[in-house]
Amino acid sequence: MTRYRYYTATTLDGFLADDADSLAWLFAQHIEEDGPGNSATFIADVGVQVMGATTYTWILEHERDWLPEIPTFVFTHRDLEPANEHVSFVAGSPADHRAAFDAAADGRDVWVMGGGGLAAEFAAAGMLDEVLVSIAPVTLGSGKPLFGGAFDLALQECDRNGDFVVARYDVLGPLKTS
Ligand SMILES: NC(=O)c1ccc[n+]([C@@H]2O[C@H](COP(=O)([O-])OP(=O)(O)OC[C@H]3O[C@@H](n4cnc5c(N)ncnc54)[C@H](OP(=O)(O)O)[C@@H]3O)[C@@H](O)[C@H]2O)c1
């Protein structure tokens, strides 16, 4: 059964990147490559990655090797260039594309890479099973938000890796306010 998992790093005040999309705050942190929540263990189960247009263009400009040769769906309204034959462009609700994502994942996980608005779109569509965050000991005050909506989650695991608090949550559904 395909799991939809939002795996990311965040500042303590809930930002994925600063206002200029810089990850300098992230690269300054210490992490143990084989420690809790490490990316290699997570990626070993991933069959598909999905991301928003800002994340895609940032990766192309700065870290092209973060685009492994697996099916990659980029949400955009723009006419972007595919980086390789594995990249497809989609728009609209994640639910409209679930069959395609599931088929491409073939039982493996879908990595929802972000940003936070897109992660919330997946959660709103009932297509986000888990949030796995590495929380850095830094605040930015403003930037690109970790999440774009109000949802209830349940903490399943919590650990330390280097400078980071590493936590895994199940997504329960829209936040109940009463
Ligand atoms: N800390 C980390 O580990 C981490 C992880 C992931 C990302 N990041 C960074 O965080 C930042 C996130 O940027 P962001 O907040 O702008 O989010 P984003 O999700 O990367 O990009 C948002 C854009 O995606 C497109 N989009 C989103 N939902 C869509 C939909 N349903 N249909 C069609 N297009 C849709 C829209 O672009 P258009 O309408 O313009 O096409 C929207 O402006 C980036 O700088 C990224 O590099 C950091």
pLDDT, tens digit, for every residue of 118-177?
A: 999 999 999 999 999 999 999 999 999 999 999 999 999 999 999 999 999 999 999 988
Residue-level pLDDT at 65: 86
- Token couple for 56: 């895609």
**Per-residue pLDDT tens over the stretch 60-102:** 999 998 888 999 999 999 999 999 999 999 999 999 999 999 9
Residue-level pLDDT at 66: 87
Residue-level pLDDT at 1: 87
Which CATH homologous superfamily contains domain 4-25+36-141?
Answer: Dihydrofolate Reductase, subunit A (3.40.430.10)
Task: Evaluate if residue 178 carries a pLDDT over 80.
Answer: no
Residue-level pLDDT at 96: 98
Task: Evaluate if residue 38 carries a pLDDT over 90.
Answer: yes
> Terminus-to-terminus CA distance in the chain, angstroms?
33
Q: What is the Å distance from ligand 1's center to 176 Cα?
A: 26
Residue-level pLDDT at 78: 97
For 45-129, where are the E strands, in sequence order? 46-52, 72-75, 87-90, 109-112
User: Contact 147/174 with Cβ under 8 angstroms?
Assistant: no
Q: Where along the chain do its domains lie?
A: 4-25+36-141
Residue nearest to atom 45 of ligand 1 (CA): 21
Residue nearest to atom 44 of ligand 1 (CA): 55
Q: What is the Å distance from ligand 1's center to 21 Cα?
A: 10
- Omega before 115 cis (within 30°)? yes
Residue nearest to atom 4 of ligand 1 (CA): 16
Q: What is the Å distance from ligand 1's center to 178 Cα?
A: 31
